[in-house]
Amino acid sequence: MFDPRISIIDDRLSTIDRVIAVVSGKGGVGKSVIASTLALLLAKEGFKVGLLDVDFTSPTTHVVLNASGLQPIEDKGIVPPEIHGIKYMSLVFYLGNTISPLRGTELTNILLEILAYTCWGRLDILIIDMPPGISDLMLDMLKYVKRAGYLIVTTPSKMSFETVRKLIMLLKGLGAQIIGVVENMLMSGSTEYIRREVEALRERYLGGIHYDTSLEESLGNVEELLKTGFALELKSILQNIIM
Amino acid sequence: MFDPRISIIDDRLSTIDRVIAVVSGKGGVGKSVIASTLALLLAKEGFKVGLLDVDFTSPTTHVVLNASGLQPIEDKGIVPPEIHGIKYMSLVFYLGNTISPLRGTELTNILLEILAYTCWGRLDILIIDMPPGISDLMLDMLKYVKRAGYLIVTTPSKMSFETVRKLIMLLKGLGAQIIGVVENMLMSGSTEYIRREVEALRERYLGGIHYDTSLEESLGNVEELLKTGFALELKSILQNIIM
Amino acid sequence: MAEAIISAVSEVADKENFKEVKSVLVLVGELQQVDREVLKFAITQLRPDKLAKTRFIIRVVRASFTCKACGHKWPFRESVLQDWVKEAIHFVPEVAHAYIRCPVCGSPDFEISGGRGVWIAGIRGER
Amino acid sequence: MAEAIISAVSEVADKENFKEVKSVLVLVGELQQVDREVLKFAITQLRPDKLAKTRFIIRVVRASFTCKACGHKWPFRESVLQDWVKEAIHFVPEVAHAYIRCPVCGSPDFEISGGRGVWIAGIRGER
Ligand SMILES: Nc1ncnc2c1ncn2[C@@H]1O[C@H](COP(=O)(O)OP(=O)(O)O)[C@@H](O)[C@H]1O
Ligand SMILES: Nc1ncnc2c1ncn2[C@@H]1O[C@H](COP(=O)(O)OP(=O)(O)O)[C@@H](O)[C@H]1O
Ligand SMILES: [Mg+2]
Ligand SMILES: [Mg+2]
Ligand SMILES: [Mg+2]
Ligand SMILES: [Mg+2]
Ligand code: NI
Ligand code: NI
Ligand SMILES: [Zn+2]
Ligand SMILES: [Zn+2]
């Protein structure tokens, strides 16, 4: 038995110049707001950009983008709808507000399905928002999307870096491309703790983003979101790296 | 073929009066600090308490408890080591600082192994710290530990409640026992948003815990941790409910 | 989907050093809701010269679910579902977990034990 | 482990209405690192009267791994591991993912394709 989806994935992704997965291992560090805001920033700069939400049991990028009510079109595959200049794909299109508890084997199946049948067309960059944990979807990305570069997000907390360190070790061990580490939700001054730890692992510390009390209110309002200190700091950190 | 582990789980848990799983669906909301601190508070009040960290790919409760270097004893099963008056079990005992990426089927196997072979002895309460996501381990808890009560944690954010709402709907649909919802990391005033949403779902809003800048530094130092505003607020919220 | 099948068949044919591929057996899960004739037609349109004479046999596999909580098995009956739900399951069968529950115990923790995906179950060729 | 086996066997015997259980075939994964004689002795000590005459046959199943990234299969060779790692794998075989990598591609994404767990593969009795 032979699964034809696997042999078509590289084909489908061949029209995309660069694939960037936003990861952490840890939850709640800001992966989804960073992935969504990065996609918005890139679209505004004139890049052709796609955003894929792979946190299938608890997707959230649609909240940031206010993307409810969108529907993909079926035409020799699935054509993702466009919002704010981003080609956007999420399981939310098919789930509505219901819950879909999914086991790991099912998560793998969904990823394969989406990678094999989504027609992204020509893209400069595809951003992938990853779930927390170091489980099926992380292993599947490493297996099926070998070209992906990893943008790692942590908070200043040792609880958070405890997990991030392990993820970095995994990615390094497999020779995956690590773009660098973003430290999100700085409270007042940086402690330099994360920078030191990241550099000790010989990876790139990209910079810090402060905790921004105006972010929550701006979620769902893209104009407002792009004006927040959060978005400005994210832009200045990634300016020369991704944009 | 018949897996003997499954038929022994109820036996193993039969010496435990109450099982409480700390859940959210969402990551980074404070499940692990709440689960650990709750266990510490209960031990201090004289309860016989156990703590089981089920976030196998990214365990963190050992950071809160400063529980490195502990080892369980094998004696007709696994006897969990005691720390700060808590019988404590985590995969960290066997992983050290290495990373163990695990697929869902493997997570299920580990859970069964631990539930079937850990000898908790007489306990008033066993606290289980759950991973983020609504996947294998959540479904396995519902399948193998039907007696568990669920203590749900959210932050004030709509991003966070987007997922928590779905989890509540799942638990309600299955008739699982929901203890109530704790709102963690309040910044300044409460917005009442979470309370209203929880009550609309006809569940119990237990109270809010403020963001506490002294918490991070106290992690690993149990004396200090129990003096934080975080611990005091957690205690007053759960006083009449769990203690 | 037709592209995926052709690309997979070509890959296997190359690996096996087939001069000619005689026939291909394709199993299509019922949940995929693919029209057999449409798929056959799409394959005919898209196949490269190398597969011009290949016979594509397409078989639909019935869908069924097995509950992981209570063990109950039941068949998929799409008639009870609304159109947009069918459409969603057509795209990703796993979203069934959002809309279908075990008829015995109410659990969403079931396995799609058949009827999902597309499989190339056999390729016959000449070297 | 002996308790688990006895409790499972008793359960099945009740369900099947066995008056007497003749023999039980127990498969023990090599990764479990259980000494067959020790397990046999523990079962003899713990079994209830009902199972007093039952013959327990214990077989060890060799462990092997299959890489999900590259497909390579290889056998478990515990000799290369340090004692405390063996001890850890003895308790939960899945922690092998922290210490062992595929010898071909270096991936930790492998399956323990045999040699884990304890299984009751057969129970023969008289009604
Ligand atoms: N720099 C920041 N300032 C303020 N709030 C933030 C910041 N980054 C993230 N958040 C908030 O933190 C929560 C978690 O963010 P999210 O993107 O969902 O994390 P993840 O995807 O890693 O789980 C959200 O409520 C989000 O709005
Ligand atoms: N009330 C609080 N005040 C300040 N920091 C908190 C509070 N609750 C949790 N945190 C911090 O938030 C981060 C996430 O907490 P954690 O318990 O790891 O969440 P989860 O287990 O849900 O992923 C940790 O760095 C923790 O120290
Ligand atoms: Mg997220
Ligand atoms: Mg946690
Ligand atoms: Mg499909
Ligand atoms: Mg064992
Ligand atoms: Ni289709
Ligand atoms: Ni043992
Ligand atoms: Zn059922
Ligand atoms: Zn390999």
CA distance B94 to B227: 31
Q: Cα of A67 to ligand 5 centre, how many Å?
A: 22
Tens digit of each residue's pLDDT (9 = 90 or more) over A17-71: 999 999 999 999 999 999 999 999 999 999 999 999 999 999 999 999 999 788 8
Count of helices and strands (H, E) across chain C: 4, 6
pLDDT given at position B50: 98
Burial of A14 (0-12, 13-18, 19+ CB in 10 A): exposed
Q: What's the Cα-to-Cα distance from A183 to each of A70, A143, A164, A192, A210, rounded to whole Å?
A: 32, 27, 11, 10, 9
Instruction: Tell me: do D18 and D35 sit in the same domain.
Output: yes
Instruction: Tell me: do C51 and C101 sit in the same domain.
Output: no
pLDDT given at position A1: 57
Give residue D88's domain range: 64-114
How confident is the prediction along chain D (127 residues), in pLDDT tens digits per residue?
A: 788 888 888 888 888 888 888 999 988 888 877 778 888 888 888 888 888 889 999 988 888 999 999 999 998 876 678 888 888 887 888 998 988 899 999 999 999 888 887 888 888 988 8
Instruction: Tell me: do C6 and C34 sit in the same domain.
Output: yes
Pocket of ligand 1 (CB under 6 A): A 24, 27-33, 60, 132, 184-185, 209, 211-212, 215-216, 230; B 27-28, 157, 159-160
* Closest residue by Cα to residue B30 from B150, B97, B167, B129: B129
Give the mean pLDDT of chain B: 94
Instruction: Tell me: do C26 and C72 sit in the same domain.
Output: no
Q: Lowest mean pLDDT: which of A190-194, B179-183, D113-117? A: D113-117
* Residue B204 host element (H or E): none
Predicted confidence band of residue B2 (pLDDT cuts 50, 70, 90)? low
Tens digit of each residue's pLDDT (9 = 90 or more) over C66-106: 999 999 999 887 667 888 888 888 788 899 898 889 999 99
Give strand pairing partners of B79: B73
* B156 interaction partners in chain A (CB closer than 8 Å): 216
* Closest residue by Cα to residue A179 from A237, A115, A99: A237
Instruction: Tell me: do C68 and C94 sit in the same domain.
Output: yes
pLDDT given at position D87: 81
CA distance B13 to B89: 14
CA distance B165 to B157: 12
Interchain contact, B133 vs A162, CB within 8 Å: no
Instruction: Tell me: do C120 and C109 sit in the same domain.
Output: no
The three-class DSSP label of residue A169 is: helix
Task: Give me the torsion for CA of B161, A103, B63, A204, rounded to 10°.
Answer: -90
Predicted confidence band of residue B143 (pLDDT cuts 50, 70, 90)? very high
pLDDT given at position B62: 96
CA distance C27 to B165: 39
User: Considering only alpha carbons, which residue of chain B is nearest residue C68?
Assistant: B143
pLDDT given at position A185: 96
Instruction: Tell me: do C33 and C83 sit in the same domain.
Output: no
Pocket probe for ligand 2: among B130, B161, B215, B225, the residue whose CB has the most ligand atoms within 8 Å is: B215
Predicted confidence band of residue A169 (pLDDT cuts 50, 70, 90)? very high
pLDDT given at position C84: 81
CA distance C119 to B128: 41
Return the residue whose CA atom lies nearest to atom 2 of ligand 2: B211
Contact status of C7 with chain B (Cβ, < 8 Å): no
Tens digit of each residue's pLDDT (9 = 90 or more) over B81-117: 999 999 999 999 998 778 789 999 999 999 999 999 9
pLDDT given at position A87: 98
Share of chain B above pLDDT 90, in %: 83
**What's the CATH code of the domain at C35?**
3.30.2320.50
Interchain contact, D116 vs B109, CB within 8 Å: yes
* B167 interaction partners in chain A (CB closer than 8 Å): 99
* A78 interaction partners in chain C (CB closer than 8 Å): 91
Q: Lowest mean pLDDT: which of B35-44, B88-97, B223-232? A: B88-97
Interchain contact, A91 vs C121, CB within 8 Å: no
User: Which residues, 6+ apart, have CB-to-CB distance to A158 below 8 Å?
Assistant: A193, B63, B216, B219
Compute the nearest-CA separation of A203 from chain D (Å).
Answer: 21
Tens digit of each residue's pLDDT (9 = 90 or more) over A132-153: 999 999 999 999 999 999 999 9
Sign of CA dihedral A137, A143, A147, A150: positive
Contact status of D33 with chain B (Cβ, < 8 Å): no
Instruction: Tell me: do D74 and D54 sit in the same domain.
Output: no
User: Considering only alpha carbons, which residue of chain D is nearest residue A141?
Assistant: D69
Instruction: Tell me: do C35 and C77 sit in the same domain.
Output: no
Pocket probe for ligand 2: among B33, B188, B211, the residue whose CB has the most ligand atoms within 8 Å is: B33
Q: Quick one: angle between helices B31-44 and B229-238, nearest 10?
A: 70
Q: How many domains does chain D have?
A: 2
Q: What is the mean pLDDT of residues B69-88?
A: 91
Share of chain A above pLDDT 90, in %: 83
Burial of D71 (0-12, 13-18, 19+ CB in 10 A): exposed
Instruction: Tell me: do C47 and C79 sit in the same domain.
Output: no
Q: Lowest mean pLDDT: which of A217-231, B130-144, C44-58, C78-92? A: C78-92
Kindly report the pTM of this predicted structure: 0.90
CB nearest to D98's CB, from B1, B2, B95: B95
Which domains occur in chain B, in start order? 4-237 (3.40.50.300)
pLDDT given at position B1: 56
Give the mean pLDDT of chain A: 94
The atom of ligand 2 lying closest to the CA of B129 is 21
Which stretches of A2-81 are DSSP H helices?
A: 4-13, 31-44, 61-65
Confidence check: pLDDT of B172 > 70: yes
* Closest residue by Cα to residue A56 from A141, A174, A144, A168: A141
The three-class DSSP label of residue D24 is: strand
Q: What is the mean pLDDT of residues C20-37?
A: 85
Interchain contact, B102 vs A135, CB within 8 Å: yes
